Amino acid sequence: MSSLTLSKYIPIIETIRGYKRENIRKDLIAALTVTVVGIPQYMAYALIAGVSPVYGLYTGIIAAIIGSAFGCSNQLITGPTNAICLLTASAMIRYMGLPNAYQMLFLMTFLVGVLQVIYGAIKLGKVIDFVSHTVLIGFTAGAGVLIALGQVNTLLSISIKNSADMSTMQKMYYIGTHINQTNYYALGLGVMTMAIIVICKKISKNLPGALIGITVPIFFILMFALEKKGVKLTGTIPSALPPFKMVQFSLASAKNILSGAFAISIIGLVEAISISKAISTNTRQKIDSNQEFIGQGISNIVASFFQCFPSSGSFSRSAINYVNGAATRFSGILSGVFVALVLLFLAPYAKYIPSPCLAGVLIVTGYNLIDKKEIKKVVKAGVFSSDSIAMWVTCVLVIVLLNLDYAIYAGIVLSIVLYLKDTNKAPLKLLIPAQGKDSQIIEQEIEAVKENEKVDVLIIQLEGNLYFGAASDLGEKLESIVTKSRVFILRMKYVTTMDLTSLSALKVFIRNVREAGGILIISGVKPDLDLMLKKSNVESDIGIDNIFMSENEIFASTTNALERAKAVLNCGIGENSKKSSACTIIDSVSSGTIANPF
């Protein structure tokens, strides 16, 4: 394998070759900032996944290093994310009480990685197009609500037995009926954390609000011995690097978690590619979706052998990395190294972090996940539009369903169904030549030709992708105007593609027009469509004189078609003959008096 090919599949090689000394300071500062912001997130997100905070730190180390080395983006930070942790918890909710629960979790991480590598290897970079933007908005909004509500019992320090078997609504009902068990010390610390995060954000976006928010309450824990008053602490975190451990392969376990792994693999890639492309609009870096698929997949595969749960690209940490000047992928690698150093030397102090404070971090995070601006945009575009319906249905399903992977699948299927519903209408405009101001000739669009009325020339403008789904609608619309004109000009210039089913509907219209005594002229025919018309014998049906190719000159084919219509209508035959209005207009086109040609 040549060095060029090797660097294509292992992007870190090219980065090392072209690394510049002036980038060291930029990457170091960005990496340190990401580490400060990331550590409390890694610990908090682990709680969403239903595991000890230490596994969040493990994932933050391995995923950041491997993801940055093999991914295509220079600024993307891979690690635990809200959405992925929520999906992980949903997939594992039935198994966390089992003796082999953690083995199943790490196996799922491995499967997620394998699926993602397969997507990249077979060039499925376009697979994320099947997850619409509105489905993602709905999912993240629902995830935000779910994350926030899921931390209320921890914030209030209300223990719920068998909570893994309860839906979010059942948990909220339990909390409401046991609200008298609230520990006000825990509630006070959690609210303090939330207040600090909000205040820090208002002062400066660069302040690590989450880190300050979980550090300050530690002083109150130590000063007032609040642990003895029922405030739960995070507990001891081992001061060691992520240990290597073989993944326990089991066909039965793989079968149980495969559905969850598939959903995580898709959403993880949507997150990673979306962030990478968003940042690349400013950095001008070319993003290779398939390479990012492989990079994310390798990251999850390697991470599974170091006791990590599934990960993806992080919106918040990647943005912080970019804003703080990250120049190369080394910023992501260094952020993982810095987390490892913190775990080695500062882990003993983490045991004093109050659980209600981590819950406070997650509640604020959940609220911030709800993209109010984007939701308003979707609703403004139409409350009952396909985008709006897909968004709200996905959001509600995320909150209501225990298995979030089903919510994802439902959102994807719904968006595709609604898309097909919107595209099964054939875009068709009816236009007639009309006299405008100052003797100008204009095209006047009409909704329909009046009943019991017939025009001399009717222009039918077809647009877009005429595929089999729109063929029935096209046939019905054309059938309704068969007797409405003497001459039809079918403008095909704006048709992007046409399949045989739609062409069959067109041939039926040609036959019906001919039987009704009318003439059909086709204008704006592109070469690929002309070949299809020839193979389908359309030319012989209407005559080659009635087909006009698309030309470079604007409206040239339509003008030629009108000349043909003039001949068909016998305009100008007999000097004293009375011309129809259509003939008068066509004559003005021919003589060049048309000021604004159609």
Over the stretch 557-582, which tens digit does the pLDDT of each residue have?
A: 666 777 777 677 777 554 444 556 56
pLDDT in tens, 273-306: 878 877 886 787 888 888 999 999 999 999 999 9
| Residues sharing a CB contact under 8 Å with residue 74, sequence separation 6 or more, in sequence order | 15, 283, 285, 326, 327, 328, 329, 331
Counting other chains too, the contacts that 414-420 makes at CB distance below 8 Å and 24 or more residues apart are 414/135, 414/389, 414/390, 415/130, 415/131, 415/132, 415/134, 415/135, 415/386, 415/390, 416/130, 418/386, 418/389, 418/390, 419/132, 419/386, 420/469
429: closest CA among 492, 522, 360? 492
The sign of the CA dihedral 104, 106, 112, 118 is negative
Structure tokens at 214: 């979980």
Radius of gyration of the chain (CA): 32
Q: Which span out of 203-212, 253-262, 487-496 was modeled with the highest average pLDDT?
A: 253-262
The residue-averaged pLDDT of 489-497 equals 87
pLDDT in tens, 147-178: 888 889 999 999 888 776 677 788 899 999 99
| DSSP label at residue 164 | G
| pLDDT over 50 (residue 343) | yes
Mean pLDDT value across the chain: 84
Cα 341–Cα 347–Cα 349 angle in degrees, nearest 5: 130
pLDDT in tens, 388-402: 888 898 888 888 876
Q: Where are the domains of the chain?
A: 3-418, 428-590
Rounded to whole angstroms, the Cα distance separating 558 from 596 reads 13
pLDDT score of 217: 92
Rounded to whole angstroms, the Cα distance separating 366 from 363 reads 5
Paired residues of 429 in beta bridges: 461
| pLDDT over 90 (residue 425) | no
Rounded to whole angstroms, the Cα distance separating 216 from 318 reads 26
Determine which of 7-21, 113-127, 451-465, 552-566 has the lowest per-residue pLDDT on average. 552-566
Superfamily of structural domain 428-590: STAS domain (3.30.750.24)
Rounded to whole angstroms, the Cα distance separating 261 from 87 reads 9
Q: Whole-model pTM?
A: 0.71
Paired residues of 576 in beta bridges: none
Give whole-number Cα distances, 172 to 153, 166, 178, 310, 476, in Å: 8, 10, 10, 28, 53
Pairing of strands 547-549, 78-79: unpaired
| pLDDT over 80 (residue 593) | no
| pLDDT over 50 (residue 499) | yes
